[in-house]
Amino acid sequence: MRHFRAALGAVLFLLVSGLPAVADDVTLRSRDGAIELSGTLLGFDGEFYRVETRYGELTVDGSGVLCEGPGCPSLVNYVAELSISGSSTIGEVLMPALVEGFALQNGLTSERMIGDETHFEYILSQPKSGARVGRFSFRVSSTDEGFADLLADEADLVMALREIRPGELALAAEAGLGELDDVNRSRVLALDAMTVIVSPTNPVSAISITDLARVLSGEFENWRSLGGPDAPISVHLRDAQSGIAQAVEDRILRRASVRLLDTVRRHATNTDLARAVTEDQLAIGISSHSEIGNSKPLALTGTCGFSLRANRLTIKTEDYPLTAPMFLYVPARRLPKLAREFLAYTRTGPAQIISRRAGFVDQAPEEIALNVQGDRFANAIRTAEGEDGLETLKRMVDTLSPLRRLSTSFRFEPGAARLDAQSRSNVQHLAHTIEAGVYDGRQMVFVGFSDGAGPASSNLDIAHQRAHAVKTAVEAAVETSSLSQVHLSTDAFGEAMPMACDDTRWGRQVNRRVEVWVR
């Protein structure tokens, strides 16, 4: 961040060079009147001015300058401004609930003001005086539009149902918004899932992700290919600009190296999509888990017999392979104090409760007893091979039986050693929980697992490395605690407990994970 000292240097250069200053809508003048800086006011957070000048964007400490010009904000009745744009799924329910919860916790009143179909704002005020302290403006449209608004400097935060794409990432960096895939630039507000749905009268109850890609690409055109009736398949998806439709493109079609068929039927909302699929016995669609209506969700299966259904626990642990994190992207820009407090609030316990009540899956860590993990251990027994496999299985049972699994899991980007976007957010959540003293006096074990491709010894080594990497990342994220009250350690069992079939890249991705177990 460049403060007024940098601005003074720029102005001194200007004066020495003899070039005329370009006055726009504000002039920041030092209190002794000796030096001034002119430009376009981009923002004011109650403490710092953000000004676009001929020397670039500068951030100036407001305590050291006087502001002159028509663009100067009021310092007496300052109102914190925050503009939020993006996914309607996040913006219509979850974010308003979080804003209202934040206002209530801080003793403020919140009033919702409707603009048009896509715009509304919340006015936050002091209850006794009625003085306004904040204005949070929303534009609810699509993830695409949210990133476009951010790049056009028309939004401070982006609500997204998918990860930022490489092109958007590069443009944001060029615009000085920082690396938006950095751990401090994106966070997960809550979790949802891409759920495959059919009509309740459709006899098909499960589908593999490989077959789903074949359906979406048009390779499978008849329900008979999926064990259903001899009838054509009608494919339904959200509109092409929606985050969930783009996540289907990124995470299913692109990974299968296929293109979406041309005859897909598009819908403006998840509600419309679910209704259309429910009423058509030959339809199949992909909707948000939170908005499947009366349709029938399909389990995800594979040739090895494993089956996974989207429910609160499988989504929270990321065991369900089509989990859809609900992202909030925060650029490298100083936001008003009230906005920063709101962002901090989204990680708190009360905010997680609000996420659950809004119909989404929260991220508060839960402890899962061993006796409700029978299917996982059954899979481990089924796949154990040879004396080494049985020995590893025995050691795993002996080690994990006294412990309880946390719902917080960690996975890595395909073909990379870097944690995926949801897991990077999980690092921060777990670190904050440790800082709050939740696990004081307890043992926390980071346990690595791998897929079954390759030699078992190599898989075990990789699982150990991943467990150590996650432990190190969490330790680095803990800022306000010495970690002396929590005993952290690592262990690994390689391919001993698969969650999905290893015959597809999606199955292998699910199996490569680090779990957290506590005692």
pLDDT digits (tens, 9 = 90+) for 404-445: 999 999 998 877 778 888 898 899 889 988 988 889 999 999
Q: What is the pLDDT of residue 416?
A: 72
pLDDT of the residue at 167: 94
In sequence order, which residues have a C-beta less than 8 Å from that of residue 382 and are 6 or more positions away?
A: none
The predicted structure's pLDDT at residue 484? 81
Taking 50 as the pLDDT cut, the residues of the chain under it are: 1-23
The domain made up of 365-518 has a fold known as 60s Ribosomal Protein L30; Chain: A; (3.30.1330)
What are the residues whose beta carbons fall under 8 Å from the beta carbon of 264, sequence distance 6 or more? 216, 235, 236, 237
**Both structure tokens of 360:** 């989404």
Q: Sign of torsion, CA 189 190 195 199?
A: negative
pLDDT of residue 383: 65
Fold category of 4-68 in CATH: SH3 type barrels. (2.30.30)
What residues does 43 pair with on adjacent strands?
50
Q: What is the pLDDT of residue 7?
A: 40
Do 80-185+330-357 and 192-316 come out as alike in CATH topology?
yes
What's the confidence (pLDDT) of residue 329?
A: 96
Per-residue pLDDT at 386: 66
pTM over 0.85, yes/no: no
Q: Domain residue spans in the chain? A: 4-68, 80-185+330-357, 192-316, 365-518
Strands 443-449 and 487-494: parallel
Pick the CATH number of 80-185+330-357 from 3.40.190.10, 2.102.10.10, 3.60.21.10, 3.30.750.24: 3.40.190.10
Per-residue model confidence (pLDDT) at position 19: 35
| DSSP state letter for 29 | E
Residues 254-259: contacts with CB under 8 Å, at least 24 apart? 255/213, 255/414, 255/505, 255/506, 256/210, 256/213, 256/217, 258/213, 258/214, 258/216, 258/217, 258/219, 259/217
What pLDDT score was predicted for residue 184? Answer: 81
Helical H segments across 106-232, by residue range: 143-151, 166-174, 209-217
The residue count of the chain comes to: 519
Q: Could you report how far apart the first and last alpha carbons of the chain are, in Å?
A: 43
- Residues 192-316, CATH architecture: 3-Layer(aba) Sandwich (3.40)
Rounded to the nearest angstrom, the gap between the alpha carbon of residue 61 and the centroid of all alpha carbons in its chain is 32
Tokens of 518: 């506590």
